[in-house]
Amino acid sequence: MNDDHLRDQRLALSAVDRLRRPLLRYAARLVGPDRAEDVVQETFLRLCSADPPPQVQHLAQWLFTVCRNIGIDIRRKDGRMSAFRHSHAQSPKDPQPSPPALAQRREAVSAALAAVASLPASQQEVIRLKFQSGFTYRQIAGITGLSAGNVGFLIHAAIKAIRQRLTPHAPCEQA
């Protein structure tokens, strides 16, 4: 039992290392870059105090679900019921990046990303959870509280909208 516990701990720690950056990215879209660290910190605190702890194979979904709930609570308290945020490439309070970094950033924002950023909040969220974080429909349904059928419909609608938007940019699709 002790060995199992130690092994689970090591797995959990490695999962935390693996998931911290994706959680930060997800939280930044929920509450903004300046609060993302707080949300992720609170998420891991809740992991430490969870009783019983989540199973390792469901750890990622559990962490994203808790992170989302905390983010929504914060937005509600702040009275900001705004939708899932669009891309925050730069916070207005952050210092100006250096010109090479700015140029690099601009190149990176492709037509596909612009198409994703133009989607409604609900579609953006599920698209990112699917293609950035690699969750299945069922896991995304567990995180967002939607049904798996709804998630499938949203992803289908998002991909269709992105395809329609990218059609003039044929070279991107052929890449």
Candidate segments 4-12, 37-45, 51-59, 60-68, binder of other proteins by CB under 8 A = 37-45
Name the segment binding other proteins (CB under 8 A); options: 1-9, 32-40, 51-59, 61-69.
Answer: 32-40
CA distance 62 to 153: 23
**Number of amino acids touching other proteins (CB under 8 A):** 54
The CA-to-CA distance between both ends of the chain, in Å, stands at 51
Long-range contacts of range 118-122, CB-CB < 8 Å, 24 or more positions apart? 118/165, 119/158, 119/161, 119/162, 120/83, 121/83, 121/84, 121/85, 122/83, 122/84, 122/154
Q: How many CB atoms lie within 10 A of CB 66?
A: 21
173 is an interface residue for other proteins by CB under 8 A? yes
Which residue of 74, 119, 126, 143 would you call a contact of other proteins, by CB under 8 A? Answer: 74
Binding site for other proteins (CB under 8 A): 21, 24-25, 28-29, 33-38, 41-42, 45, 74, 87-91, 94, 97, 105, 108-110, 112-113, 116, 127-128, 130-132, 136-137, 147-150, 152-153, 155-157, 159-160, 162-163, 166, 172-175
